[in-house]
């Protein structure tokens, strides 16, 4: 096994929140390389250390905050940090990653990763500075919004350059889709990491560091960086990315009938031009923001310049927010989307789940399944922005119907009943990202099989459906989903952003060159993808061990029963039998058995023999 000479610090800080103590553990070369970093490290630590039966909101759950070997280095978009845990939203393996500057600062403070274990008895924040960690009293911060807490902490510590990751009141109240916010607007949004931090009484992690991150071959890294940077800065689409970021996707989704509208009842929105990138640019945008070392600077800073919420600003919206809080709740203006985004960020709730949950409640209200009395007197109709704003607050503080909705659409629909389960748009308990997939079989498969629930982050496959045909349940689609499920999470392991590859077509071979130059460990892209496959099988195994079955790789009934009949799509819906066949084919191509359990042979090939042994009881049950 080659020795690591850079990129990694090979140091993990284990923080005992109950005792307020920490210790530093060194990471073995083999472990670092085999699981790459970021979500790979987090998954292996969860597999090894967290009990199979752990309650996600108990002190026995852990949160692993892990950078990657490329985080903080001379690499475009080398800004990502993964937050990994057992998700309170799904009960299964969960992770989410955050950009900005937090990860770079954590490495400059001397750590690749943190393991947060047990729970504090009082609200606390974790202060990290150049190799030292303190667990400090945060009772004065408890109750504050995420953004407000970041401002307060920086003021208190007297340094605007401190990097903060914080939770809002929703995390404190254990809202199942509570998120973590860093740098005033970068989120680890999905799978309820904020609720797990809230259960541990961790209000924030604040970090400051000024140490150099070692690099094995700085000349080689500079050479690769210059090539990549040269390519990116000359790309003809760079400027539109800087101007609108992911908001350009609103028009794309509209044209392709993929824009979730009124709780995925329609796939186009008649008012899309009022909430799209052009609207943002002309009405609310005031600045760009970039993560560490990123020329794309896709972050859009917006200000409400008129109306009752004048003066409110936020980093965002990006596409997922505009689609799920915008078209999916039928908001009429970009100002409303910006304000809803601000509320979610400060309350500390994931905008994807929040938009789904609110739209679900609106559909229930319009269908008479929820009465005005049940929703606290709100006229909870699609397009009623003020009702949405109030509902978000009720969810964040678990007031009235907000207490049930804070559990997410799966649990809420099971409690409400009356057929609402059909349009609870979730997979495995995680609300669906912003792409209608009824005429997109690869995207549907990607959602159904995603290891954390329905999340586009693992496989954004709809572009392939559009390219090869939106009616085919073909083998190439299953193969493409598997490829995406390996390459996209690879970026979360390396600690870099994927958008340079996804949107500007930066050759993924660059990442093998970056890794080799940074660490001194020679790799190929194929080798990195093999490691990513290992990690995907490991996260599957974590969830299987916690009770996941093949039945959970499935989609809401709406997808099979209610056709999309607007935009460029007419009467499109998924076919249950064909989709089941596609799922079987996917399992086969993956080397999983008919029950979705990785075979002994597959896990052996991936050097996960120990994991395979633990799955034997599950194989025997089938």
- Note whether 537 and 606 are within 8 A (CB): yes
Nearest CB to ligand SF4, comparing residues 81 and 413: 81
C-alpha to C-alpha distances, 95 to 21, 240, 394, nearest whole angstrom: 25, 30, 26
Side-chain half-sphere of 525: how many Cα atoms within 13 Å? 10
b/e map 5-25, b = 16+ CB within 10 Å:
ebbbbbebbbbbbeebebeee
Instruction: For residue 322, give the nearest of 336, 308, 311 by alpha carbon.
Output: 336
Judged by CB under 6 A, does residue 497 bind ligand SF4? yes
Nearest CB to ligand SF4, comparing residues 434 and 520: 434
Judged by CB under 6 A, does residue 294 bind ligand SF4? yes
Piece of the chain touching ligand SF4 by CB under 6 A; list 295-303, 371-379, 443-451, 601-609: 295-303
Nearest CB to ligand SF4, comparing residues 503 and 566: 503
Nearest CB to ligand SF4, comparing residues 79 and 116: 79
65: Cβ contacts below 8 Å, ≥ 6 apart: 81, 82, 83, 84, 106, 113, 114, 116, 165, 205
- Note whether 179 and 188 are within 8 A (CB): yes
Judged by CB under 6 A, does residue 290 bind ligand SF4? yes
Judged by CB under 6 A, does residue 440 bind ligand SF4? no
Nearest CB to ligand SF4, comparing residues 100 and 408: 100
- Please name the helix (run of DSSP H) or strand (run of DSSP E) that holds residue 219, with its range, or none: helix 218-234
Piece of the chain touching ligand SF4 by CB under 6 A; list 65-73, 292-300, 341-349, 369-377: 292-300
201: Cβ contacts below 8 Å, ≥ 6 apart: 17, 119, 120, 121, 122, 123, 124
DSSP conformation letters of 244-269 = HGGGGHHHHHHHTT---BTTTTBS--
List the one residue from 178, 361, 412, 499 that touches ligand SF4 (CB under 6 A).
499
Nearest CB to ligand SF4, comparing residues 380 and 499: 499
- Note whether 583 and 19 are within 8 A (CB): no
Piece of the chain touching ligand SF4 by CB under 6 A; list 66-74, 147-155, 228-236, 293-301: 293-301
Mask for 298-337, x = binds ligand SF4 (CB under 6 A): xx--------------------------------------
CB neighbourhood size of 238 (10 A): 17
Piece of the chain touching ligand SF4 by CB under 6 A; list 230-238, 291-299, 532-540, 568-576: 291-299
Q: What is d(CA 373, CA 218) in angstroms, rounded to the nearest whole number?
A: 65
Residues 171 to 200: which contact ligand SF4 by CB under 6 A? none
Judged by CB under 6 A, does residue 38 bind ligand SF4? no
- Note whether 125 and 204 are within 8 A (CB): yes
Residues 85 to 104: which contact ligand SF4 by CB under 6 A? 99
Nearest CB to ligand SF4, comparing residues 81 and 516: 81
**Could you tell me the smallest distance in angstroms from the CB atom of residue 503 to ligand SF4?**
8
Instruction: For residue 36, give the nearest of 83, 78, 68, 66 by alpha carbon.
Output: 68
List the one residue from 17, 43, 45, 79 that touches ligand SF4 (CB under 6 A).
79
Nearest CB to ligand SF4, comparing residues 289 and 477: 289
Piece of the chain touching ligand SF4 by CB under 6 A; list 297-305, 364-372, 386-394, 561-569: 297-305
Give the torsion sign (CA, 552, 171, 120, 148). positive
Judged by CB under 6 A, does residue 408 bind ligand SF4? no
Piece of the chain touching ligand SF4 by CB under 6 A; list 88-96, 279-287, 289-297, 566-574: 289-297
Q: What is d(CA 466, CA 237) in angstroms, rounded to the nearest whole number?
A: 20
Q: What is d(CA 547, CA 27) in angstroms, rounded to the nearest whole number?
A: 30
**Could you tell me the smallest distance in angstroms from the CB atom of residue 324 to ligand SF4?**
18
Piece of the chain touching ligand SF4 by CB under 6 A; list 18-26, 161-169, 288-296, 571-579: 288-296
Q: What is d(CA 305, CA 502) in angstroms, rounded to the nearest whole number?
A: 33
Count of residues in contact with ligand SF4, rule CB under 6 A: 12
- Please name the helix (run of DSSP H) or strand (run of DSSP E) that holds residue 181, with its range, or none: strand 180-182
C-alpha to C-alpha distances, 178 to 87, 333, 395, nearest whole angstrom: 11, 25, 10
Judged by CB under 6 A, does residue 297 bind ligand SF4? yes
**Could you tell me the smallest distance in angstroms from the CB atom of residue 216 to ligand SF4?**
23
Judged by CB under 6 A, does residue 57 bind ligand SF4? no
Instruction: Look at the chain and count its residues.
Output: 622
Judged by CB under 6 A, does residue 490 bind ligand SF4? no
Instruction: For residue 6, give the nearest of 63, 71, 61 by alpha carbon.
Output: 71
Piece of the chain touching ligand SF4 by CB under 6 A; list 223-231, 294-302, 438-446, 539-547: 294-302
List the one residue from 15, 180, 224, 291 that touches ligand SF4 (CB under 6 A).
291
**Could you tell me the smallest distance in angstroms from the CB atom of residue 500 to ligand SF4?**
7
Judged by CB under 6 A, does residue 296 bind ligand SF4? yes
C-alpha to C-alpha distances, 372 to 31, 369, 379, 387, nearest whole angstrom: 55, 10, 7, 11
Which residues make up the interface to ligand SF4 (CB under 6 A)? 77, 79, 99, 290-291, 294, 296-299, 497, 499
């Amino acid at each position: 096994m080659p020795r690591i000479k850079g990129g990694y610090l090979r140091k993990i800080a284990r923080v005992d929140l109950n005792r307020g103590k920490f210790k530093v553990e060194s990471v073995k070369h083999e472990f670092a390389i085999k699981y790459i970093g970021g979500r790979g490290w987090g998954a292996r630590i969860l597999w090894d250390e967290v009990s199979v039966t752990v309650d996600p909101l108990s002190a026995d759950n852990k949160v692993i905050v892990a950078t990657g070997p490329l985080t903080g280095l001379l690499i475009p978009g080398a800004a990502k940090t993964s937050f990994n845990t057992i998700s309170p939203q799904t009960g299964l393996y969960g992770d989410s990653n955050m950009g900005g500057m937090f990860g770079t600062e954590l490495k400059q403070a001397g750590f690749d990763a943190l393991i947060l274990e047990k729970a504090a008895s009082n609200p606390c924040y974790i202060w990290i500075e150049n190799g030292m960690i303190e667990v400090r009293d945060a009772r004065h911060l408890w109750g504050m919004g995420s953004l407000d807490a970041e401002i307060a902490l920086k003021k208190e510590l007297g340094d605007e350059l401190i990097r903060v990751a914080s939770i809002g009141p929703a995390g404190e109240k254990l809202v199942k889709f509570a998120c973590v916010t860093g740098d005033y607007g970068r989120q680890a949004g999905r799978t309820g990491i904020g609720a797990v931090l809230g259960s541990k009484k961790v209000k924030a992690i604040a970090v400051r560091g000024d140490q150099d991150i070692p690099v094995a071959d700085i000349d080689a890294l500079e050479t690769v960086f210059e090539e990549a940077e040269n390519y990116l800065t000359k790309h003809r689409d760079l400027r539109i990315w800087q101007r609108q970021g992911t908001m350009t996707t609103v028009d794309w989704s509209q044209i392709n009938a993929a824009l979730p509208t009124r709780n995925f009842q329609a796939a186009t929105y008649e008012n899309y031009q009022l909430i799209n990138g052009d609207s943002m640019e002309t009405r609310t945008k005031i600045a760009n923001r970039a993560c560490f070392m990123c020329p794309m600077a896709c972050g859009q800073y917006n200000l409400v310049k008129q109306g009752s919420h004048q003066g409110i600003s936020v980093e965002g919206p990006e596409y997922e927010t505009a689609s799920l809080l915008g078209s999916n709740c039928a908001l009429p203006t970009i100002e409303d989307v910006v304000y809803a985004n601000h509320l979610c960020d400060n309350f500390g709730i994931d905008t994807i789940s929040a938009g789904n949950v609110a739209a679900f409640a609106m559909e229930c209200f319009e269908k008479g399944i929820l009465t005005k009395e049940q929703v606290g007197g709100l006229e909870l109709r699609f397009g009623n922005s003020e009702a949405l704003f109030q509902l978000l607050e009720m969810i964040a503080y678990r007031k009235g119907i907000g207490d049930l909705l804070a559990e997410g659409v799966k649990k809420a629909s099971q409690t409400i009943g009356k057929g609402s389960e059909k349009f609870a748009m979730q997979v495995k308990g995680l609300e669906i990202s912003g792409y209608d997939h009824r005429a997109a079989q690869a995207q549907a498969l990607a959602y159904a099989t995603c290891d954390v629930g329905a999340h586009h982050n693992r496989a954004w496959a709809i572009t392939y459906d559009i390219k090869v045909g939106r009616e085919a349940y073909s083998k190439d689609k299953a193969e493409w989903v598997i490829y995406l499920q390996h390459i996209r999470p690879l970026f979360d392991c390396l600690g870099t952003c994927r958008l340079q590859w996804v949107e500007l077509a930066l050759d993924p071979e660059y990442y093998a060159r970056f890794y080799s130059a940074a660490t001194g460990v020679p790799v190929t892209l194929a080798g990195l993808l093999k490691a990513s496959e290992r990690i995907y099988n490991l996260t599957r195994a974590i969830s299987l061990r916690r009770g996941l079955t093949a039945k959970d790789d499935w989609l809401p009934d709406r997808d099979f029963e209610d056709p999309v009949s607007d935009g460029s799509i007419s009467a499109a819906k998924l076919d249950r039998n064909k989709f089941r066949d596609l799922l079987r084919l996917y399992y086969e191509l993956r080397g999983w058995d008919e029950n979705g359990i990785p075979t002994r042979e597959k896990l052996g090939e991936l050097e996960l023999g120990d994991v395979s042994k633990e799955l034997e009881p599950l194989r025997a049950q089938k």
